[in-house]
Amino acid sequence: MQDVGTTEKRAADRPAAEPDKEEKQTRLVQFVAGSVVIIFAFFYLQFRTPAILDVDGYYHIKWSRLLWEGLKSGQFPPPFPYLPLTTLNPQNYVDHHLLFHLLLIPFSLFGDMRIGAKIAAALFGALAVASCYWLIYRYRIRHQLIWLVALLACSAPFLYRLSMTRAQSVSVVFMVAGIYLLFERRYRWLAPLAFLYVWTYSLFVTLLVAAFIWVAVVWWSERRFDWQALAWTAVGTIAGFILNPYFPKNVRLFFEHLMMKVTAGDFATSVGAEWYPYESWYLFHSSLIAFVAMVVGYVATGRNHRSHGARAAFFLLFSTLLLIITARSRRFVEYWPPFAVLFAAFALQPLMEGARRAFASLPADVLADLQPLLDEEAEPRRRKGLFREEIVAGALFVLLLVPLGINVYGTAQTIAAEESPFEYRGGAEWLRQNVPAGEIVFNADWDDFPKLFFYDSEHRYVSGLDPTYLLDENPELSRLYENITLGREPNPAPVIRERFGARYVFTDNQEIHHAFYGNMIDSGWAEEVYADEHCTVLRILDERREPPAMPEDEEPMDDQDVPPDENG
């Protein structure tokens, strides 16, 4: 049985007055209407471009289609032979987004997978924001529509990254579901939630962190060690690792990811831009509402009584932690801003409900004696106070529309500038039609792999998804790959054939690879077999030919002319 003190403290963290039927209906209508607005916003952003946002989305949707084909043929999970020189080689490949890829399967069955990927991204992004808005609705936070606008206006990078066909949107939903179970103390349900989270995305560790924070907050506010929250989350997490088609390789890959990316200094090799921090000023002005929400939350939390602020204290610690890791790496900007807004909402709630709770806690006979007085004298003052509150709320709502418009417009402009989804299709189709299936193609940039894989899954590639996969599997080969692609190796063709086992080379036409292309052609060991404005395919020859004559006004490029390493 629960002790009386615990029950009282739990009740203290809930609004005292139950809403009447009219208020419930109003809040429900606002929630449904708000969800429609969220869906519209994400579809509007998604279709500002024909491209799949972020190149990894091409890999995710194509692999989901191959998963479906594997399921139909009775092969689950299917083999992944596409990056044989990396830690994702056929023997060690782990799909750490497995459940996300399964969720994408219906969208991969579109005649144009690109359209399916974009619809999935819009729906999952909208679901992530709507789940945060649902917490506002579920816990009866006052002025619900203000928090809706704040969630959509909190950060432009947040809107952009949640528009990607990637697992972060589903990850936000898992976080919100976990927080709800913690708040409701339905700890047993954390086990299946954690299990599914492990199958979905490697950021499942945030659920463990959330459970730990909640245990600490409950001890602080109630002087009680609520160990079940952490225990059930840990049980589900461990089960998610063990009851997994990739066990025990998934354990190895998780710790490799941890060692590669959780570093005090710089990364061992040039990685994707998302792993580096934003410039401070850009992060501040593009996420201004999120920063304001943090300040409001800190101030309001300091005014709350300990027994009344367990949820606010949780969001204080959780959102602060997310802010710290966002300052370290921009890829976490899809998590911190909405939880900053939730922090402000839950921190203000006890203050706004304090007067109501104090009044409702008076004995019934006292309320009965005061009722005539309240009806005659207090009601006009109460109505006047509510009117003033609504005026302030309306002004704040209108004020928040300004950053909302700026962020949505700016994000739409950024999305509209995405690179064409068809830029590598010509080169990939040439490879598929002219190169025997199963051969290794030397792709000159690791982040070209997703689009190549999208259009041509019949060949294997040297590096992809993350440059640290090649580095971790073979550091020497990784350094050689970098030297070759940046033009530091004067005679790369024989090295590519002997060390990488490739006879064909795919390169984009960006300036960073001009020196590499020049070295290939000038060596006499390679010839151009396909070229368009976006990409080039080279074939490594069996015998050396005389290189083409260099124009008299053109000088060879030395090491000092090689562009800096900007891969990713």
Whether residues 251 and 287 share a domain: the answer is: yes
Whether residues 433 and 395 share a domain: the answer is: no
* pLDDT, average across residues 253-277: 63
Q: Quote the CA–CA distance of 341 and 407 in Å, as a whole number.
A: 16
Whether residues 429 and 412 share a domain: the answer is: no
Q: What is the mean pLDDT of the chain?
A: 85
Whether residues 518 and 380 share a domain: the answer is: no
Which position has the higher pLDDT, 546 or 380?
Answer: 546
Answer yes or no: are the C-beta atoms of 135 and 342 closer than 8 Å.
yes
- pLDDT value of residue 270: 54
Domain endpoint, select from 386, 416, 446? 416
CB-based burial, 93-115: b 16+ in 10 Å, e otherwise: bbbbbbbbbbbbbebbebeebbe
Number of folded domains that form the chain: 2
Query: Shortest CA distance to 202 belongs to which of 170, 159, 160?
Result: 170
Q: Residue 241 pLDDT > 90, yes or no?
A: yes
Q: Residue 395 pLDDT > 90, yes or no?
A: no
pLDDT for 478-535, tens place per residue?
Answer: 999 999 999 999 999 999 999 999 999 999 999 999 999 999 999 899 999 999 999 9
Q: Residue 452 pLDDT > 70, yes or no?
A: yes
pLDDT for 210-231, tens place per residue?
Answer: 999 999 999 988 888 889 999 9
The DSSP code sequence of 511-544 is GGGHHHHHHHHHTTSEEEEEE-SSEEEEEE-SS-
Whether residues 431 and 340 share a domain: the answer is: no
Q: Residue 560 pLDDT > 50, yes or no?
A: no
Whether residues 394 and 442 share a domain: the answer is: no
pLDDT for 308-337, tens place per residue?
Answer: 578 999 999 999 999 999 988 887 888 999
Tell me if 31 is assigned to some domain. Answer: yes
Tell me if 59 is assigned to some domain. Answer: no
Residue 202's pLDDT band (cuts 50, 70, 90): confident
Whether residues 230 and 110 share a domain: the answer is: yes
* pLDDT, average across residues 536-546: 90
Q: Given the DSSP bridges, would you call strands 460-461 and 502-508 parallel, antiparallel or unpaired? A: unpaired
Q: Which two tokens stand for residue 211?
A: 């459970």
Indicate the range of 168-172, 277-281, 392-396, 534-538 predicted with least confidence.
392-396
- pLDDT value of residue 380: 53
Tell me if 311 is assigned to some domain. Answer: yes
pLDDT for 126-170, tens place per residue?
Answer: 999 999 999 999 999 988 999 999 999 999 999 999 999 999 999
Whether residues 361 and 325 share a domain: the answer is: yes
Domain endpoint, select from 374, 397, 416? 416
Q: Residue 353 pLDDT > 80, yes or no?
A: no
Domain carrying residue 439:
425-561
Domain endpoint, select from 416, 448, 467? 416
Tell me if 86 is assigned to some domain. Answer: no
Helix (H) or strand (E) holding 14: none
Whether residues 404 and 470 share a domain: the answer is: no
Which strands, in side-by-side order, build the sheet including 502-508? Answer: 460-461, 440-443, 502-508, 535-540, 526-531
Whether residues 410 and 514 share a domain: the answer is: no
Q: Quote the CA–CA distance of 244 and 525 in Å, as a whole number.
A: 47
Tell me if 63 is assigned to some domain. Answer: no
Q: Which two tokens stand for residue 491?
A: 């005679």
- pLDDT value of residue 195: 97
How much of the chain, in percent, has pLDDT values that exceed 90?
Answer: 65
- pLDDT value of residue 217: 93
Tell me if 9 is assigned to some domain. Answer: no
Q: Residue 472 pLDDT > 80, yes or no?
A: yes
Give the predicted TM-score (pTM) of the model.
0.85
pLDDT for 269-302, tens place per residue?
Answer: 555 566 678 888 999 999 999 999 999 999 988 7
Answer yes or no: are the C-beta atoms of 346 and 141 closer than 8 Å.
yes
Q: Residue 1 pLDDT > 80, yes or no?
A: no
Residue 551's pLDDT band (cuts 50, 70, 90): low
Residue 568's pLDDT band (cuts 50, 70, 90): very low
* pLDDT, average across residues 103-120: 96
Whether residues 220 and 258 share a domain: the answer is: yes
Tell me if 67 is assigned to some domain. Answer: no
Q: Quote the CA–CA distance of 104 and 107 in Å, as a whole number.
A: 5
Q: Which two tokens stand for residue 526?
A: 């390679």
* pLDDT, average across residues 66-76: 93
Indicate the range of 5-14, 192-201, 311-320, 463-472 predicted with least confidence.
5-14
Alpha-carbon distances of 341 from 156, 346, 550, rounded to whole Å: 14, 9, 61
Helix (H, G, I), strand (E, B) or coil at 443: strand
Q: Which two tokens stand for residue 92?
A: 């060690």
Q: Residue 344 pLDDT > 90, yes or no?
A: yes
- pLDDT value of residue 564: 44
Tell me if 62 is assigned to some domain. Answer: no
φ/ψ region of 224 (left if φ > 0, alpha if ψ in -120 to 50, else beta) reads: beta
- pLDDT value of residue 272: 54
Q: How many CB atoms lie within 10 A of CB 368?
A: 10
Cis ω before 350 (30° cut-off from 0): no
Residue 349's pLDDT band (cuts 50, 70, 90): confident
Whether residues 375 and 433 share a domain: the answer is: no
Query: Shortest CA distance to 532 belongs to which of 554, 506, 551?
Result: 506
How much of the chain, in percent, has pLDDT values that exceed 70?
Answer: 82
- pLDDT value of residue 267: 45
